[in-house]
Chains A and B, each alone.
Chain A
Amino acid sequence: MRYYTDEHEWIEVEGDIATVGITDYAQGQLGDIVFVELPEVGAMIEQGKDAAVVESVKAASDVYAPITGEITEVNPALEEDPALVNSAPEDGGWFFKMTIADAGELDGLMDEDGYKAFLEGL
C-alpha cells in the first residue's frame, strides 16, 4: 500500500517496513538534484522531523519523516547518482526504509487518489 504526505513524500508499506521517497511532483519542483543527505541507519526519527536533505542546483530542501520509526536502510545508489531522484523518483530513487512505530500515523496520510486530488488543488 502506498501513502502520500502533503509535503510530497511517498511511503510504500510492506509488512512492518516503510520505504520513503519524494514524489515526481516534488522532484520536478526541485529541479536537478546534485546531492542527497540521508539519515544514519539506526536513527529514530519522529513524524514531521528532518530526515534528509535534498540539494538541487538552486537550493537545499528538507525531507521530513512521514511517520515515526527507526531507519533500517538508506539507498546506496543515491550517493553515486543523486539524479536518480529526478529520473526515477517513485522507484529507484527511494531515500530510506524505516520501521513503523505507530501504524495509526498512516491513517492521517493520503492514498494515491487523495494525493492526485491534492496536487490538482495546488
Chain B
Amino acid sequence: MSDHDTEDHLEDIPLEALPLDAWHRARGARLVPFAGYEMPIQYEGIVAEHNWTRESAGLFDVSHMGQLVLSGPGLDEAVEAVLPIDLSTLKLGQQRYSLLLDEEGGVLDDLMVSRWPEALYLVVNGATKWDDMGTLREALPDDITMNYLDERALLALQGPKAADALARHATGEYPLSALTFMKFGRFRIAGHDVTIARAGYTGEDGFEISLPAEAAAEIADLLCGEPEVKPIGLGARDSLRLEAGLPLYGHDLSPETSPIEAGLTFGINKRRRTEGGYPGAERINREIVEGTARKWVGLKIEGRLPAREGAEVFSGAEKIGTVTSGGFSPTLGAPIAMAYVASEHAAIGTQLEVEVRGKRLAATVSPTPFVPHRYHRGN
C-alpha cells in the first residue's frame, strides 16, 4: 500500500512545530509535513470533520500562514505599486482579497489585505511566505517597514454556529455580531488582545482570529470547550474549500496561471484595470478585455471515482485541459474537481471526459461553488 499523493514532499527540510503542536497531538491528530511545518491532517476523520464544519463549527489551526504588517510613509501608494488593489476604497476595518503577481502577470501568491490604523495587515500562504517577504521587501521602498508577526498564531473558526460560540468569549468596543463578511476588529478573548476577521476558506460563515502564540492553547481549549466546536484538520479544510470553489495556491494558482484565467478578476480592483501600475498589468488588463484561452472551471464527475490533480480533461479525442484540484465531495456524495480547460469548452453544462488511470469518466462543467457560500453579509 502506498500513497501517490501529490502533496509537496518536504522530508529533506527540517520541519518546524506550530504553537499548538502539543495541543494537536493531545487531541489525537495525525500530523503530516505541510508548508515546512508538522500540521494536523485529521483528528477523528476527514468526512466527519467536514460534515461537522458544515453543520456546526470547526476550529482550524492555520498558524503556518504568514501574518505581515506594513507601515511607513506613502504606504498606500507603495503597496499599490506591488498589488492590483485599490487602497483608496479599503476603509479601516475592512479586509480584501488580493494577488501578488510577477512581471508577466503569473500568480506568486494570493493573500488578504486589511486596513489597520496607520498600517496594512497581510495574511499570505504558509508555503510561499518566505518568498513573498523577499518579493515585497525587494519591491517596496526602504522606508516601508515590514514586520513578520511570527509570535502570533492564527486560528479559523468556521461554520454556521461559529458566531454563537465565539460571541461567548470575544469582547470589544462593539459586539462580535457587528462584524460582517470581510470586516475585522480588535477584541479580547480571555484577557488576550486578538484581531478577528469575519472570513475564511470553507464557504461557511466564520472568523479568523490572530492571537499571541503563547495564548493559542488556552484560546483553542476555550473554543473547543463550546459544544458547537471541534478541532478540524487540513484534510477537511481542503475538501471544504474545494466544495466552496476556492483556489489553493501551488495547485490551482501558480506563476504559470493568470488570475483572469482563474476567474479572480475581482482581485484586480476596478481602478487598477484601467490605470495599471502593478506587476503584470499589461497582460492582466488585456486579458480582462479580450478574455483568455483557457478558464478555470468546476467539474462534476459521474460515478464515485475521484479525478485528482494532474488528471487530463478531454473533449472527444482532443485533450483540452488539466485538473488542478479534485476529490470526493462529502456534502454531495460525489467526486468534484476544478480544472483549467480551453475556453470554448468552459460553458456551464459542457460534457467532457476526465482520464483516470486509463479510464474515461464523464464530467460536466458545473457552476461553482459546488456547495453554496453562506457568508454573513448582514442586511
Residues of A whose CB lies within 8 Å of any CB of B are 7-9, 22, 26, 30-32, 34-35, 37, 53-64, 82
Contact = CB atoms under 8 A, between A and B. Distances in A.
Contact of A32 (B2, B4, B46): B46
Given A57-B47, A57-B328, A82 B304 contact: yes
Interface of B: 1-6, 41-42, 45-47, 50, 235, 238-239, 304-306, 308, 327-328, 330, 335, 357
Contacts of B5: 58-60
Given A34-B328, A53-B357, A58-B46, A64 B235 contact: no
Nearest to A7: B1
A31 B5 CA distance: 14
A23 to B, nearest CB: 9
Contacts of A57: 46-47, 50, 235, 239, 327-328, 330
A3 B191 CA distance: 57
A60 B6 CA distance: 9
A34 B308 CA distance: 13
Contact of A55 (B2, B41, B50, B306): B306
B33 to A, nearest CB: 14
Contacts of B45: 31-32
Contacts, number: 67
A32 to B, nearest CB: 4
Contact of B1 (A8, A32, A34): A8
Nearest to A5: B1
A22 B1 contact: yes
A34 B304 contact: yes
Nearest to B30: A29
A58 B327 contact: yes
Given A35-B328, A57-B46, 12 more contacts: A22-B1, A30-B1, A34-B304, A35-B304, A57-B47, A57-B239, A57-B328, A57-B330, A58-B5, A59-B4, A62-B2, A63-B1
Contacts of A63: 1
A31 B46 contact: yes
Contacts of B47: 31-32, 57
Contacts of A58: 5, 41, 46, 235, 238, 327
A53 B239 CA distance: 20
Instruction: Tell me if A's interface is mostly helix, strand, loop or mixed.
Output: strand
A37 to B, nearest CB: 7
B306 A35 contact: yes
Contacts of A26: 1
Contacts of B304: 34-35, 82
A62 B3 CA distance: 7
Contacts of A82: 304
Contacts of A9: 1
Contacts of A62: 1-2, 4
A7 B5 CA distance: 16
Given A57-B235, A58-B46, A35 B2 contact: no
Contacts of A7: 1-2
B328 A61 contact: no
Contacts of B238: 58
B370 to A, nearest CB: 14
A2 B6 CA distance: 33
A53 B50 CA distance: 23
Nearest to A6: B1
B18 to A, nearest CB: 20
26 contacts: A7-B1, A22-B1, A26-B1, A30-B1, A31-B47, A32-B46, A32-B47, A37-B305, A53-B357, A54-B1, A56-B46, A57-B239, A57-B327, A57-B328, A57-B330, A58-B41, A58-B46, A60-B3, A60-B4, A60-B5, A60-B306, A60-B308, A61-B1, A61-B2, A61-B4, A62-B4
A22, A57, A58, A63 pick with most chain B CB within 10 angstroms: A58
B327 A61 contact: no
A61 B42 contact: no
A30 B41 CA distance: 11
A118 B45 CA distance: 24
Nearest to B42: A31
